C-alpha cells in the first residue's frame, strides 16, 4: 500500500535550529519540501543513525500539527525507523515526550511546537528534536542537523494513504515500521504521582483551598483535567481555557503577565483564588501566582529548591542546582545555604542536559518561566504547579507567606525582563556589537553609583563534555549583586528581539515590598543609556515587560 519514493530537493539555507529547535512562520513550513527537508536532515544527523531506532512524535496541537504528523510518519517509515510512537491526535506535551523517551528507552523524539509563540495560519510552527536522554538535542547535534540540511539533495517518503492517528492503542505496519498510537497523558500522570504526595494535595483541594489553572487553550488542557479534576478531585471550575485549539483561541499561549492577563486579573481580586497557574503552548513553561502576588520564575526555582525536601520525590535533598545566565541569582543563595553547587548555563534547556545526566544537579530553571528537575530532561510546567501545591499543602500557608519568608531569609532579587520585539535586525546587531566594544571600558567603572565588578560576553564551558558555547549574552555585574544583561532572542520569527534583563538585590526588610519597576528604575535607565537602544533601534519602550 505504501511506496517509498526518493524526492529530489534543494537546501533552504535557513534551517538552523535556534534556542529550541527550528521555529518559523506556518507559511514557511507550508512551502513545498520545507518540513520534509528539515525532517530528513534530522534523520541524517541522528546520533546512532536511523537503523533500528525508535522515536516518539507529538505536538502541541497547533495549526499544521496534524498535516506535519502525517508527513513525518511517512518519512520515518521510508527512512527505516523501526518503531514510531505517536500521541493520539498528534498530541504530546514537551515534558511528556521527554518522559516517554526515558521510560521506554527510545532513541529520541520529535516535538511539533513553536512553544509560546502564537499559532493559526498566520502564526508560527516549529520542530524540536530530542535525543535518547529525553532532552533537547545538544549543540553538536543541532549543528550537524543544520549541516545536513545544507547538503540535502533528496528526501525519502512512503507515498500512501494518511493514517488514523486518533485511536489510542492502534498499531500499524508501514513499510517495515511499527507505528503505535499512544495515550499522551497516562504515563505523564503516573510520573507526577511518583514524585508528589497526591493524597496530601487532594486533601488541600477538598479543604476550601481554591486554585485556578489556565491552559491558554494549549496542550496542557487534557493533562490538567486528568491531574487536577479526575485524580485530585478539584472542581471543574478550576480549569480555564483547557480545550486545546489550533490557534489557541487567538491568543499567545505564553504564561506571563501580558498574555495570561485574564488569570492575573482573577488573582489580583481580593476575593480571588488562593493559587493560580498557567502553562504555555507545549506545556513546558509555568507561571505561578498567589492572591495578589506574582512569583517571578527566578524566585520560584529558588523557593522550590529551598523546599525540595517537602516533596516525596526529593526527600533525599538536592545534589546541585543550575540556572540560565540571565536568571536571577536568588538560586545561588539557596545553593550556598544548602551547601550544593549552583551552575550557570547559557539560555536554553539543552545546556542543563549534561549536568542532569551526570548527576550534578537535581533542580534547574530559567527566568523565562521554565522550571524542572532530573525527572525528565525538559522544563515541565505542570510539575512546577504540583511542586507548589505540595509545598502549600504540607505547610498550610499561603503563597505570599512562602515568598515573604523566603525573602526575609535570603533577601529579595528584584527582577524584570524588558523585551523589544520585532526590531529591525541590522540595528539590533549593531547595538550588540557596540556593547561588546564598550566592555573593556565598563569593567571597574561606576554607573548609577554602583561599581561594575564584571563586564563580559558570557562564554560557557561545559564541565561534563568540555564543549564551549560563547557569545551567550552581555553581562554587566555590579558589586552590590545588581546585574544588567543583554541578549538577542534565538526563538523569535519576526525581525530581531532584544532582551534586557535587570536585577537588583536588597536584604533591607523595609525594602522587600516595593514595586519592581520602581525599585529597579535607575538600573533600567542605566540599561537604556549604556546600550543606546533608542538610537540603534528607534525603540523607546519595550513591547513586553515581565
Catalytic residues: 115
Q: Which residues bind ligand G1P (CB under 6 A)?
A: 19-20, 115, 324, 347-349, 366, 368, 370, 489-492, 499
Show the cell assigned to 72.
Answer: 513525518
CB closer to ligand G1P out of 65 and 279: 279
Reading the block at residue 146, the C-alpha cell is 543544520
The dihedral formed by the CA atoms of 288, 293, 298 and 303, expressed in degrees to the nearest 10: -80
The dihedral built from the CA positions of residue 355, 358, 360 and 364, taken in this order, carries a sign that is positive
Q: Taking CB within 5 to 8 Å according to partner kind, which of ligand G1P, Zn ion, none is near residue 489?
A: ligand G1P
Distance CA 309, CA 374 (A): 15
With a CB cutoff of 8 Å and minimum separation 6, the contacts of 247 are 62, 63, 118, 119, 120, 121, 123
Angle of helix 399-410 relative to helix 381-395, nearest 10 degrees, comes to: 90
Nearer to ligand G1P, 115 or 241 (CB): 115
366 binds, among Zn ion, ligand G1P, none (CB under 5 to 8 A by kind): ligand G1P
- Partner whose binding site includes residue 390, from Zn ion, ligand G1P, none (CB under 5 to 8 Å by kind): none
Residues 73-102 that bind Zn ion (CB under 5 A): none
Distance of CA 493 to the CA centre of its chain: 16
- Least Å from the CB of residue 378 to Zn ion: 9
Residues 463-492 contacting Zn ion, CB under 5 A: none
One residue of 282, 310, 374, 419 binding Zn ion per CB under 5 A:
282
Query: Segment near Zn ion (CB under 5 A), from 275-283, 466-474, 504-512, 535-543?
Result: 275-283
Q: Which residues contact 32 (CB under 8 A, 6 or more apart)?
A: none
Say if CB 192 and CB 226 are below 8 A apart: no
Half-sphere exposure of 156 (CA within 13 A, CB side): 14
Closer residue to ligand G1P (CB): 90 or 253: 253
Question: In the complex, what is the shortest distance from the CB of residue 278 to Zn ion, in angstroms, rounded to a whole number?
Answer: 12
Binding mask of the shown chain, residues 243 to 272, with x at each position contacting Zn ion by CB under 5 A: ------------------------------
CA quadruple 414, 419, 425, 426: dihedral sign: negative
Residue 120 phi/psi, 5° resolution?
Answer: 90, 170
Exactly one of 197, 284, 299, 419 binds Zn ion (CB under 5 A); that residue is 284
In the list ligand G1P, Zn ion, none, the entry touching 516 (Cβ below 5 to 8 angstroms by class) is none
Closer to ligand G1P at the Cβ: 254 or 310? 254
Q: How far is the CB of 488 from ligand G1P (least distance, A)?
A: 8
Q: Which does 368 bind (CB under 5 to 8 A by kind): ligand G1P, Zn ion, none?
A: ligand G1P
CB of 285 to Zn ion, least distance (A): 5
Applying CB under 5 A, the span of 114-122, 271-279, 420-428, 471-479 interacting with Zn ion comes to 114-122
Q: Which is nearer to Zn ion, 11 or 246 (CB)?
A: 246
Binding-site partner at residue 419 among Zn ion, ligand G1P, none, CB < 5 to 8 Å by type: none
Among ligand G1P, Zn ion, none, partner that 282 touches (CB below 5 to 8 angstroms by kind): Zn ion
Q: Which helix (H) or strand (E) holds 522?
A: helix 521-531
Kindly tell me which of 54 and 286 has the beta carbon lying closer to ligand G1P.
286
Q: For Zn ion, which residue of 280, 299, 366, 380 counts as binding (CB under 5 A)?
A: 280
Decide: 335 and 265 in contact? Cβ < 8 Å: no
From the list Zn ion, ligand G1P, none, which binds 462 (C-beta under 5 to 8 Å, kind-based)?
Answer: none
Kindly state the smallest distance separating residue 400's Cβ from ligand G1P, in Å: 26
Q: Helix or strand or coil: residue 342? A: strand
At 335 the three-state DSSP class reads helix
Q: Quick check: helix, strand or coil at residue 416?
A: strand
Q: C-beta of 438: minimal distance to ligand G1P in Å?
A: 22
Q: Which residue, 366 or 462, is less far from ligand G1P as judged by CB?
A: 366
> Which residue number is nearest to Zn ion in terms of Cβ?
115
C-alpha triplet 433, 493, 355: angle, nearest 5°? 75
CB of 19 to ligand G1P, least distance (A): 4
Residues that contact Zn ion, how many (by CB under 5 A): 5
Say how far apart CA 77 and CA 80 lie, in whole Å. Answer: 5
Nearest approach in angstroms of CB 171 to ligand G1P is: 33
CA-based R_g, the chain, Å: 23
Beta strands per DSSP E along 489-533: 496-506
Q: What is the distance between the alpha carbons of residues 366 and 384, in angstroms, rounded to a whole number?
A: 12
Alpha-carbon distances, residue 100 vs 92, 131, 285, 376, 488 (angstroms): 10, 12, 18, 9, 32
Of 485 and 523, which has the nearer Cβ to ligand G1P? 485
Q: How far is the CB of 369 from ligand G1P (least distance, A)?
A: 8
| Phi, psi for residue 434 in degrees, rounded to 5 | -65, -40
Q: Binding Zn ion by CB under 5 A: which of 107, 115, 149, 368?
A: 115
Number of helices followed by number of strands (H, E) in the chain: 18, 27
The candidate with the shortest Cα–Cα distance to 45, out of 99, 110, 97, 91, is 110
Task: Answer with the entry of ligand G1P, Zn ion, none that 491 interacts with (C-beta below 5 to 8 A by kind).
Answer: ligand G1P
**Contacts to Zn ion from residues 386-445, by CB under 5 A:** none
Q: What is the DSSP letter of 138?
A: P
Instruction: Closer to ligand G1P by CB, 99 or 286: give it.
Output: 286
Positions touching Zn ion (CB under 5 A) are 115, 280, 282, 284-285
Amino acid at each position: 500500500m505504501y511506496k517509498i519514493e526518493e524526492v529530489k530537493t534543494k537546501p533552504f539555507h535557513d534551517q538552523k535550529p535556534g534556542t529550541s529547535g527550528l521555529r518559523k512562520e506556518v507559511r514557511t513550513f507550508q512551502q513545498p519540501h520545507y518540513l520534509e527537508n528539515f525532517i530528513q536532515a534530522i534523520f541524517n544527523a541522528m546520533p546512532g543513525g536511523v537503523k533500528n531506532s525508535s522515536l516518539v512524535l507529538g505536538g502541541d496541537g497547533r495549526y499544521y500539527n496534524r498535516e506535519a504528523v502525517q508527513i513525518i510518519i511517512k518519512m520515518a517509515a521510508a527512512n527505516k525507523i523501526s518503531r514510531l510512537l505517536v500521541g493520539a491526535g498528534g498530541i504530546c506535551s514537551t515534558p511528556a515526550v521527554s518522559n516517554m523517551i526515558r521510560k521506554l528507552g527510545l532513541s529520541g523524539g520529535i516535538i511539533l511546537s513553536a512553544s509560546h509563540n502564537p499559532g493559526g495560519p498566520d502564526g508560527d510552527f516549529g520542530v524540536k528534536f530530542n535525543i535518547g536522554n529525553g532532552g533537547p538535542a545538544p549543540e553538536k547535534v543541532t549543528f550537524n542537523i543544520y549541516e545536513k540540511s545544507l547538503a540535502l539533495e533528496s528526501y525519502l517518503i512512503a507515498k500512501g494513504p494518511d493514517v488514523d492517528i486518533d485511536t489510542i492503542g492502534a498499531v500499524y505496519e508501514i513499510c517495515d515500521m511499527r507505528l503505535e498510537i499512544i495515550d499522551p497523558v497516562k504515563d505523564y500522570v503516573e510520573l507526577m504521582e511518583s514524585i508528589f504526595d497526591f493524597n496530601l494535595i487532594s486533601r488541600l483541594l477538598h479543604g476550601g483551598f481554591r486554585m485556578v489553572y489556565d491552559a491558554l487553550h494549549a496542550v496542557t488542557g487534557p493533562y490538567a483535567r486528568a491531574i487536577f479534576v479526575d485524580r485530585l478531585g478539584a472542581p471543574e471550575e478550576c480549569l480555564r481555557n483547557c480545550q486545546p485549539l489550533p490557534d489557541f483561541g487567538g491568543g499567545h499561549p505564553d504564561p506571563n503577565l501580558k498574555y495570561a492577563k485574564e488569570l492575573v486579573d482573577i488573582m489580583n481580586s481580593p476575593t480571588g483564588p488562593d493559587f493560580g497557574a498557567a502553562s504555555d503552548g507545549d506545556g513546558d513553561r509555568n507561571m505561578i501566582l498567589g492572591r495578589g502576588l506574582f512569583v517571578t520564575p527566578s524566585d520560584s526555582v529558588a523557593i522550590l529548591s529551598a523546599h525540595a525536601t517537602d516533596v516525596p520525590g526529593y526527600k533525599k535533598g538536592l545534589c546541585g542546582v543550575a540556572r540560565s545566565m540571565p536568571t536571577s541569582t536568588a538560586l545561588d543563595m539557596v545553593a550556598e545555604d544548602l551547601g550544593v553547587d549552583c551552575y550557570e548555563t547559557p539560555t536554553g534547556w539543552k545546556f542543563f542536559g549534561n549536568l542532569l545526566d551526570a548527576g550534578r544537579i537535581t533542580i534547574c530553571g530559567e527566568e523565562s518561566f521554565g522550571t524542572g528537575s532530573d525527572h525528565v530532561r525538559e522544563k515541565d510546567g505542570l510539575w512546577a504547579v504540583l511542586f507548589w501545591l505540595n509545598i502549600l499543602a504540607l505547610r498550610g500557608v499561603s503563597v505570599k507567606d512562602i515568598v515573604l519568608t523566603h525573602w526575609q531569609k535570603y533577601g529579595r532579587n528584584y527582577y524584570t525582563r524588558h523585551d523589544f520585539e520585532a526590531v529591525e535586525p541590522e540595528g539590533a546587531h549593531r547595538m550588540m556589537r557596540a556593547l561588546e566594544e564598550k566592555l573593556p571600558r565598563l569593567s571597574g567603572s561606576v554607573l548609577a553609583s554602583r561599581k561594575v565588578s564584571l563586564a563580559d560576553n558570557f562564554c560557557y564551558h561545559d564541565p561534563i563534555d568540555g564543549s564551549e558555547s560563547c557569545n551567550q549574552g552581555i553581562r554587566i555585574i555590579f558589586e552590590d549583586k545588581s546585574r544588567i544583561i543583554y541578549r538577542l532572542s534565538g526563538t523569535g520569527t519576526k525581525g530581531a528581539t532584544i532582551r534586557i534583563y535587570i536585577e537588583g538585590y536588597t536584604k533591607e526588610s523595609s525594602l522587600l515590598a516595593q514595586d519592581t519597576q520602581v525599585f529597579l528604575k535607575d538600573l533600567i535607565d542605566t540599561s537604556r543609556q549604556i546600550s543606546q537602544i533608542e538610537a540603534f533601534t528607534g525603540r523607546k519602550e519595550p513591547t513586553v515587560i515581565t
